[in-house]
Amino acid sequence: MENILDKLGIELNEQTRLTSESTFSFNCHSGLSCFNTCCSNLDIVLTPYDILRMKKLLGLSSAEFISEYTEPVIQKESKLPFLKLKLGEEGKCRFVAAEGCTVYGDRPAACRYYPLGFGIYKNEQAGDDFYFLIKEEHCKGFGEEREWTVGEWRKNQGIDEYDDMNRVWMEVILNKKLYSPELEPDEKSLKMFFMASYDLDAFRDFVFESRFLDVFDIEEERLEMIRNDEAELMLFAHQWLLFALFKKPTMNLKQA
């Protein structure tokens, strides 16, 4: 988080750190001269739910979407492999058109948050999550009269659903940062994290076509849910990651 704030030139203090009740003025629409400008020179890390929504919209498999629209990056703090949006010519988002975002209803969480930034304390005892404003010189949206609280903006942009669906995955990352920040994950752990985070098709095969169900005791009702609902499969994958990487009691082993 410190690196992001430094990059943006933001010093986190009582004035810049926002809560859900904090207010700000902002509005984005096609009548602004800067419309679509924020969709260039991006560095958007994609969450598992981002990829699930967009690949489904585009009718692609996980592997097809990952290959066509993402590029890998190792996150410095956690040393885990993430995926970020692959940009097109001149650094523009490949989903933006003159009229705006062509995947707007399924756009990534980072796009929904903008112009807010979001932070999570590494120390579990430090307090609640926090927000901050990203004020870029080119953006005319801050000159608009529409006023929001942070909570109102989150609701208007559909952020709560995205955060809820990514919550367990974020717990995986936080556990890595808290308990083994200097540990370089081995190749097996990296492959496990990548598959369960991003490649749902491969994870489905792992569950149903390996010895997985001989090892783990999964209720039949839950099996049907993860077999037929990709969102449930994704959540199950993240729970398995907590068990596999950190021995959290999120899974039950079958009795020998």
Angstrom distance (rounded) from CA 189 to CA 238: 13
Range 139-157 average pLDDT: 96
- Predicted pLDDT at 125: 42
The string of pLDDT tens digits covering residues 156-215 is 999 999 999 999 999 999 999 888 888 899 999 999 999 999 999 999 999 999 999 999
d(CA 4, CA 9): 9
Q: What pLDDT score does 3 carry? A: 56
Instruction: Report domain extents, the chain.
Output: 4-173, 176-247
Closest CA to 62 of 194, 206, 228, 201: 201
- In SS3 terms, the chain reads as CHHHHHHHCCCCCCCCCECCCCEEECCCCCCCCCCCHHHECCCCEECHHHHHHHHHHHCCCHHHHHHHHEEEEEECCCCEEEEEECCCHHHECCCEECCEECCHHHCCHHHHHCCEEEECCCCCCCCCCEEEECCCCCCCHHHCCCEEEHHHHHHHCCHHHHHHHHHHHHHHHHHHHHHCCCCCCCHHHHHHHHHHHHCHHHHHHHHHHCCHHHHECCCHHHHHHHHHCHHHHHHHHHHHHHHHHHCCCCCCECCC
Q: What is the mean pLDDT of the chain?
A: 91
Q: Which range (124-133, 197-206, 222-231, 242-251) has the least confidence? A: 124-133
Please compute the mean of the pLDDT values over residues 1-16 and round it to a whole number. 60
Q: Is the pLDDT at 83 greater than 50, yes or no? A: yes
Mean pLDDT of the 138-147 span = 94
pLDDT of residue 118: 86
The residue that leads in pLDDT, 53 or 117, is 53
